[in-house]
Amino acid sequence: MESLYPDTIRLLIDSYAGLTPELQKAARFMVEHPEEIGLNSMRGVAREAGVKPATITRLTKTLGFPEYESLREPFRQRLRTRSPEFAAKFQSVQRRGEAGDRSILADLRAQEMANIEFSLSDENLPIMEDAAQTMHDSRRVYVLGLRGAHAPAFLFHYAYQLFQENSQLLDTSAGIFADQLRGIGASDSLLVVSFPPYTQLTIDAVEYAAEAGAQIIAVTDSVISPAANAAAHTIVTKNQSPSFYHSFTGALAVTQALITMLVTKAGGDAVKIVEEAEKQLSRISAYW
């Protein structure tokens, strides 16, 4: 990454830690949007970075530049010399990655984007909306995802428990799995994430919950998946991948969207509660 950037970026990064908060804000924007420095006026950069013009001036002085123009010039230069195909004027720019195993990665990107597009499709939105309502109305919300599916399940539960206290992530450690489900009943719901090859334990758990009368919300790959058998709401997501392993980005996007809906339903304070909770957790080493 270093070689791609002018030395000035390096300087920005190295100086970052010793800067004041406002200068950090400016420096950070510059590091993350280097093009804008070459493209816009100083005041324009300040505006985009959410900072006063004077702050940019101070930053240039702090970094050791005599005036803003000296800081800007390298960024300009970089934009000037970057794309040689600029010389080929009115040609449409077709810059796909080079050949070789890069193309696999390009496929991967395309596939993942398709997964997202499908998972958050217009058809799925009303289903997700209903599912969120069901969970919102539940006494307890159980969350289940084993093996790879643990990732989206965990994230859902983690985000959810920041603003609600009635969730339970089903855990397989120490053989307590069955115990956790014992209390499930008709006024509860179970969010289950499951993809082929389906785990037997997941299927059993869903069956048990369904018999207990719980509402099942299934995030899975097909309406005929075993997880969807007894489900009240089935959210179908793509999990295809050009790689050997299926992808969970679609499922993750779905669970994140569900969280968004649930926070909205939870009312106005929820947003602030979550933000506060996260900030506090980051400071105190909660798990140390």
Partner DNA sequence: CAGCAAATGAAACATTTGTATTATTTAGCG
Partner DNA sequence: CGCTAAATAATACAAATGTTTCATTTGCTG
Cβ atoms < 10 Å from Cβ of 29? 20
When CB distances are held under 5 to 8 angstroms depending on the partner's kind, the choice from a copy of itself, DNA, none that residue 43 binds is: DNA
Segment 111 to 170, residues that bind a copy of itself, using CB under 8 A: 112-113, 116-117, 120-123, 125, 127-128, 146-148, 150-152, 154-155, 158-159
Segment 250 to 269, residues that bind a copy of itself, using CB under 8 A: 252-253, 256-257, 259-261, 263-264
d(C-alpha 197, C-alpha 257), whole Å? 25
Told to check if 188 binds a copy of itself by CB under 8 A, we report no
List the beta bridge partners of residue 220. Answer: 194, 236
Cis peptide, bond prior to residue 197, ω within 30 of zero: yes
139 or 227, CB closer to a copy of itself? 227
Told to check if 82 binds a copy of itself by CB under 8 A, we report yes
Q: What is the DSSP string of 32-87?
A: H-HHHHHHS-HHHHHHHHT--HHHHHHHHHHTT-SSHHHHHHHHHHHHHHH-GGGS
Kindly state the number of chain residues that form the binding site for a copy of itself, as judged by CB under 8 A: 109
> For DNA, which stretch binds (CB under 7 A), given 36-44, 82-90, 138-146, 280-288?
36-44
> For a copy of itself, which stretch binds (CB under 8 A), given 34-42, 63-71, 136-144, 185-193?
34-42
53 or 74, CB closer to DNA? 53
Tell me the per-residue interface mask from 214 to 243 with a copy of itself, x by CB under 8 A, - otherwise. Answer: --------xxx----x---xx-x----x-x
> Can you list the alpha helix ranges (DSSP code H) found in the chain?
7-16, 21-32, 34-39, 42-49, 53-62, 68-82, 102-119, 124-136, 150-160, 177-181, 200-211, 249-266, 268-283
Token pair for residue 3?
A: 């070689």
Told to check if 191 binds a copy of itself by CB under 8 A, we report no
**Helix 102-119 vs helix 249-266: crossing angle, to nearest 10:** 30
When CB distances are held under 5 to 8 angstroms depending on the partner's kind, the choice from a copy of itself, DNA, none that residue 91 binds is: a copy of itself
Q: 270 φ, ψ to 5°?
A: -55, -40
Name the residues that contact DNA, by CB under 7 A: 20-23, 41-44, 51-58, 60-61, 67-69
